[in-house]
Amino acid sequence: MTDQGPIEYVGRKKLRPPKQPKVPKRPRVPGRPTVQPSDVRPAAGKAAKAPAKKTSRWAWLYVVAVIVGLMAAFVGYVFLGTILRPMYVSGACELSACSTGGMVIAGWLVIAVPAALIGATAIVQKLAGRTTRRVLLGLTIASVLMALSFVPGRRRRGLSDLVKGPGADQFIDGFLWALGGIGATLVAMVLLAVIGRKAAVIGRNYTVSSLVAGAVLVVTAVPVAVSATGSTGTNPEEIFPAVLQMNDDVLTRTATANQRGCDGVLADDALLNVENCVMALHVAYRTDDSDAVASLWAVLYTTSDAADAVRQALPSASTDALATIYSTNKSWLLLGTAAHADGGIITKADRPWVLWPLRQVAYRFIGFQNGLLLDPDPGDEIHPRVASR
């Protein structure tokens, strides 16, 4: 046997595996048996199954609740359209005295509330508890159904067929401008998404940026709608100028008033409170070519039927020195009086020209409410002191 050199010896030597670090021993706790690694054996065969969940005996109630909920949603939609929609419009008129801003905001809220609830539900979906999420979801569904009740259908092809009564035009303008704000919000969200691909700051804060942009656009729709819409015609100084010129006559305004309710308009308040009276406005004029004075009260009700019902129940209040005229215009009840400035007796010959200034004032009010100002015909039975025939 030949001697092996160091090189051959190293090449033939078997390499030993590296030593593993020693695991420190755990201190033994008195009274607890020590488990050795060799004692732990893998389970043979299939893995142990998790305990099966017991089906609740009340699970069928969930199915019933879903069915009842769907039926209630359909019934609620019909109920909202036929009852709550007119109640909401008339309630908004009564609450705001049918002011321009109040009716615009009422229409705006129909769209803004469900949009805000949808956004709030999306934000708190992973943050709030189950009860909060359910409450928000229920409110969102109810508000969306309310908004859908204002969508025209086959029978009623326009919003003017759905929304009627005083302040309806202003309500519709607020509704449409809110829809415009939602449309602008969607466009802004698309633009932010495109910008966010290049601007990292926008991309990281896309949700917050979208919410802020949507809130600004929808809220901005309110003042824009108020400035763009027409007046509801509830301000006497806006309707009746200080100097009224009609048929080459000059009438000078002597008094104006605007009040909630109709107490004090007549001696017996119960006559006008038979129906729900919203507000009343008053104006008085004197003429420059005669001693006739005219006074007009315009009382607003929520519907034209209510105004007609009150008009038919009013007793005549004319006297020898005071001529009283009652009429209606849509939801307005007009109570006009004419007399001599000195309170003298109105003769049969005086009656036409004493009532003439009152007729001019009534024409001014009716024309303003209907958007068409016209002068009365001086050739009718009621005419100026010197009739132009």
User: Domain residue spans in the chain?
Assistant: 66-228, 236-370
Q: What is the pLDDT of residue 150?
A: 86
Using alpha carbons only, how large is the chain's radius of gyration in Å? 40
Q: What is the rounded distance in angstroms from the CA atom of residue 119 to the CA atom of residue 113?
A: 10
Question: Who contacts 68 (Cβ-Cβ below 8 Å, separation ≥6)?
Answer: none
Q: What is the pLDDT of residue 86?
A: 86
- Going by C-alpha positions, the residue among 177, 176, 168 that lies closest to residue 103 is 168
DSSP secondary structure letters along 140-209? HHHHHHHHHTTS--SS--SHHHHS-STTHHHHHHHHHHHHHHHHHHHHHHHHHHHHHTT-HHHHHTHHHH
Strand partners of residue 281: 258, 298
pLDDT, one tens digit for every residue, the chain (389 residues):
455 555 554 555 555 666 666 656 665 655 555 555 555 555 555 555 555 555 555 566 666 776 777 677 666 666 666 788 888 998 999 899 899 999 999 999 999 999 999 888 888 777 777 788 888 888 898 888 888 888 876 666 678 788 888 889 999 999 999 999 999 999 998 998 888 888 888 878 888 888 888 889 999 999 999 999 888 888 999 999 999 999 889 999 999 999 999 999 998 999 999 988 999 999 999 998 778 999 999 999 988 999 999 999 999 888 889 999 999 999 999 999 999 998 899 999 999 999 999 999 999 999 998 888 889 998 888 888 874 44
Q: Which amino acid is at 54?
A: K
Q: Are 323 and 355 in contact (CB under 8 A)?
A: yes
Q: What is the rounded distance in angstroms from the CA atom of residue 274 to the CA atom of residue 314?
A: 10
Place of tokens 């020195």: 321
Q: Which conformational region is residue 343 in: left (phi greater than 0), alpha (psi within -120 to 50 degrees), or beta?
A: left
Q: How many residues does the chain have?
A: 389
By the 10 Å C-beta count (0-12 exposed, 13-18 middle, 19+ buried), 213 is classed as middle
Which two tokens mark 209?
């940026």
Q: What is the pLDDT of residue 203?
A: 79
